[in-house]
Structure 1
Amino acid sequence: MAEILSRVGVEDGVRPVSAGISASVSETERIVERPEWAALKEAVERIRPWQAKDGSIDFAADEAPTREAASAEVGRVIAAVERLAPLLPHNEAYHQALVADLRRWADGGFEVPDFLDSLLAFQPAGQRVDGRQHLVVFPMYTQNGNPDRNLEAVVLRMVWPDWLAELERTRYDNPLFLGITFEDFTSGYDTHSAVLFPETIAVREAPERFSWGGIFCDREAARFRRVVRAACDVTSLELPEEALELLGDQERTQQTFVLWDMVHDRTHSHGDLPFDPFMIKQRQPFWMYGLEELRCDLTAFHEAVKLEADGFPQGRDVQYAVILERLFRFPVTGGRNRNYDGLGGQLLFAYLHQSEALRWRDNKLSIDWDRAREVTVRLREEIETLYRRGIDRPKLVHWFKAYELVSTYLAPHPGSTWAKGPDALDLTLPPRKLVDEVHPDEFPLSMFYEALAKKLRGVIASTEGIRGNAATVPVAA
């Protein structure tokens, strides 16, 4: 098997490392334009269908490859990585560990993969340089994409302009955050996934702490531009000139999202937190996750207001992005089963509507943007108060108080047990068991959103696998 791995690549037209390139790639060159990337991607795509959900290869399964065939494809991946590695010297330790993990997986008979060593060696947050490229190969699932731990390959580029680096250094410390864009990817990212998170990678044991987390701001920007454009057409919403300019500029929208994401990400561990659901693994009703995600977004909005006052034009752009993304894309994206991001969008719409910052009249949507800014900040204050008081409450009481906040603005499902109050639940059970009583769609879509979802269904579907350079292609609602 080792002999197969060592000779594959020469036979497939990929030169051995000894003939390799010594100079690193410049920020204007593209790794994905090299033939070695094409060979790597092709090999990964051949391996992926052979893998089971856990990443292993069952050679007794129907249409399974021979061990020799699987080894040959892994060998092609290794040869391509070794050929490309000299162009990316900042990832030398990672690529060496990656090759070792790939060889160990093959030599071990392609059982459940363990790429902990290469995961620990990959440290992109320590080298946030604008425009820097990374070649990443891991067995992993892709959030909001492929649920299986298949082998994936992606070339990404760092987004770290000087103004953002300065804000992170002086105001929004977030040493683990990566703003990134796609250069190219394998099938797991030909989906709705827009993140690269270390916890998705197949490893023998979880590290004590993760040291980075990446969000693809180009995909976020592209789908935002497409969906919001279509939603404005459907609802006849007239946007301010500044917002229209934002929708017309992919690069500007990417910069908007990378700032929003950086502030959002750090907010999960900042503030008066009864507990952070993304740091302490506890089972809880999905509206708690919805409020946490919304709290982080509204904090980014609040900080954006301050940034605008301090002369940062990106601050105003983040305000438009948070409101429009939350109102239009979140509620109508994904299934209705415990969709906590959708819930947060519904809550923001209802809060704005009931505060008369937003109106739906004569089949036309209108937003009073000055009032919307005031009201959005006020909703954040309500959630912050809930959190602050929650520190002194038992968990179950905190959950009910959160339910009370949401149900003040959104109607619960008629069949909801939680809506009937504590007397309808068996309070002798531990709180985690009472989560089973939560209705899958505890807060159904309003009539407005039911109609909007039908109108935008095709547009939402069209954003699967979207790339930044495809965002300018108009799509009918």
Structure 2
Amino acid sequence: MSEVLREIDELRQSLPDRTRLRDEDVLKDLALALESSPVLRRLPAAEALLEDLRTFAPGSRMEATKQHINSQRDPHVFSLFDASYFPSLGLDWLTYETLPTDPHLVERYASNTLPVNVVGRTRGFASRVVVALFPENHLDGIQEPDDVIFYFIDKFVERHRRITRLMIDEVMAPGSFPTIQQASGKQIEQAATWWVRLHEYHHRHGDMPIPEFLAAKKAKPLAGLEELRVDVSGMLTCLDDERLPRQEARTAFEFILAERLLRYAVEGIPRPNYDAVASQVLFTYLVQHEGIRLHEDRIVLLPGLTSVLRDFLGAIRRIEAGIHDRPLEAVREELLAFTRRYTDYDPAVRDYRHIPYFAQIKQRLGV
């Protein structure tokens, strides 16, 4: 497999910048290079990509490549990617291993999510920011309901250890997250697996699900609020579904809360990205409604936290329920107004700022 990865990395170097990836001559030359490669040409994943390269036209779907991936006939992904938020991806290969999870979770909260660990990859997938792979990241930019969504759990675990654990130690009151602080690597891996499964399930449920309302929620604050809606839904699922194993569910609850409240809060340089904006909303809401408080610069989780999380989710759901009898733009404006109450917006540059508390943490910890 090392020979496969090495050859693909060499082919990557011959490709032009992303603006020309769809040019007919570029795709033709790439197809010829793959056809002439004794290492690549007989691999099923490469055969599928070749078929798509020969027939690709703007607006068409990469049928053979997506079929190969969705069928999971082998643990390999090979494609030509173009994703603005994953700029390292281009012509890339991924080999993965799937991870086990709770049968009830898989059945009750079914989605096309595939949590995996990366066991082999070309250069593009080495980037830390590439923690997932979505169907629309391929050159065709198309997502269909049956397309598999990959989450790279080993990267989630590494990120948790590198950033979130540090923040728990430095920012939280002692004993705030007892389960995940004592969890083994395998238990953290399992919690991350639960998180992404619940995340994708809840995206596709509710009054304004994704992808149906993706365009309406593409603005930074609304994209962040959607991420928050699904993650708070996931947290409460862990607490409320008694058919889920209790210890594992508690670990997943703490894991999601820690990631959403702490790690995402410091993302984005110099301005917060949509995940950081979501964490601003959550942090400020929880403070104002007595779910958490600051004591000597540390966050204390208060006894009413779960009730406040329920109220928070209820507020979003009530606004989104208006979509059934109000214009989309009116509902969208109400969602925007909700986010503005709990964020630090800079009108001079028309963007958000890291709230002072997390801005100081970001600088002090270098995260």
TM-score w.r.t. length of structure 1:
0.67
Equivalent-residue separation in structure 1 for 2:142 and 2:336 (angstroms): 33
Equivalent residues of 2:135, 2:143 under 8 A apart:
no
Aligned to 2:48: 97
1:400 is paired with a residue whose SS is helix
TM-fit CA distance, 1:327: 1.5
Aligned to 2:331: 398
Matching of residues 9-24 of structure 1 within 5 Å: none
Equivalent residues of 2:199, 2:231 under 8 A apart:
yes
Equivalent residues of 1:330, 1:342 under 8 A apart:
yes
Equivalent-residue separation in structure 1 for 2:84 and 2:132 (angstroms): 7
Equivalent-residue separation in structure 1 for 2:314 and 2:166 (angstroms): 31
Equivalent-residue separation in structure 1 for 2:245 and 2:271 (angstroms): 42
Equivalent-residue separation in structure 1 for 2:187 and 2:98 (angstroms): 15
Equivalent residues of 1:305, 1:316 under 8 A apart:
yes
Aligned to 1:116: 62
TM-fit CA distance, 1:340: 1.8
Aligned to 1:342: 276
Aligned to 1:429: none
Equivalent-residue separation in structure 2 for 1:187 and 1:347 (angstroms): 35
Aligned to 1:293: 227
Determine what percentage of the aligned residue pairs are the same residue: 20
TM-fit CA distance, 1:345: 0.8
Aligned to 2:354: 445
TM-fit CA distance, 1:450: 0.9
AA of the residue aligned to 1:213: I
Equivalent-residue separation in structure 2 for 1:448 and 1:222 (angstroms): 25
Equivalent-residue separation in structure 1 for 2:135 and 2:347 (angstroms): 40
Aligned to 1:435: none
TM-fit CA distance, 1:337: 5.4
Residue 140 of structure 1 pairs with residue 49 of structure 2: no
Per-residue CA distance 1:339-372 (angstroms, 9 max, x = gap): 221111111111222233322222333223x422
Residue 201 of structure 1 pairs with residue 138 of structure 2: yes
Question: Are the structure 2 counterparts of residues 118 and 279 from structure 1 closer, same or farther at C-alpha, using a change threshold of 3 Å?
Answer: same
TM-fit CA distance, 1:154: 0.9
AA of the residue aligned to 2:318: T
> Greater shift after overlay, 331-340 or 300-309?
331-340
Equivalent residues of 2:344, 2:354 under 8 A apart:
no
Alignment: residue pair count? 361
AA of the residue aligned to 1:250: G
TM-fit CA distance, 1:181: 1.1
Equivalent-residue separation in structure 1 for 2:61 and 2:145 (angstroms): 16
TM-fit CA distance, 1:394: 2.3
Question: Are the structure 2 counterparts of residues 310 and 216 from structure 1 closer, same or farther at C-alpha, using a change threshold of 3 Å?
Answer: closer
Equivalent-residue separation in structure 1 for 2:345 and 2:212 (angstroms): 28
Unaligned runs of 5+ in 1: 1-36, 86-91, 417-438, 460-477
Equivalent-residue separation in structure 2 for 1:207 and 1:324 (angstroms): 30
Equivalent residues of 2:199, 2:234 under 8 A apart:
yes
Unaligned runs of 5+ in 2: none
Runs of 4+ in 1 over 3 A off after TM superposition: 54-58, 69-76, 98-102, 141-144, 205-210, 307-312, 335-338
Residue 44 of structure 1 pairs with residue 4 of structure 2: no
AA of the residue aligned to 1:119: T
Question: Are the structure 2 counterparts of residues 252 and 375 from structure 1 closer, same or farther at C-alpha, using a change threshold of 3 Å?
Answer: same
TM-fit CA distance, 1:142: 5.3
Equivalent-residue separation in structure 2 for 1:304 and 1:271 (angstroms): 18
AA of the residue aligned to 1:245: Q
1:377 is paired with a residue whose SS is helix
AA of the residue aligned to 2:248: Q
Residue 389 of structure 1 pairs with residue 298 of structure 2: no
Question: Are the structure 2 counterparts of residues 376 and 209 from structure 1 closer, same or farther at C-alpha, using a change threshold of 3 Å?
Answer: closer
Question: Are the structure 2 counterparts of residues 242 and 39 from structure 1 closer, same or farther at C-alpha, using a change threshold of 3 Å?
Answer: same
Residue 79 of structure 1 pairs with residue 39 of structure 2: yes
Equivalent-residue separation in structure 2 for 1:97 and 1:335 (angstroms): 38
Residue 314 of structure 1 pairs with residue 248 of structure 2: yes
TM-fit CA distance, 1:336: 5.6
Higher radius of gyration, 1 or 2: 1
Question: Are the structure 2 counterparts of residues 207 and 282 from structure 1 closer, same or farther at C-alpha, using a change threshold of 3 Å?
Answer: closer
Aligned to 1:230: 166
Equivalent-residue separation in structure 2 for 1:166 and 1:231 (angstroms): 32
1:155 to 79, 84, 95: 95
Equivalent residues of 2:134, 2:150 under 8 A apart:
yes
2:187 to 252, 266, 269: 252
AA of the residue aligned to 2:179: E
TM-fit CA distance, 1:314: 1.9
Equivalent-residue separation in structure 1 for 2:277 and 2:162 (angstroms): 21
Question: Are the structure 2 counterparts of residues 143 and 233 from structure 1 closer, same or farther at C-alpha, using a change threshold of 3 Å?
Answer: farther
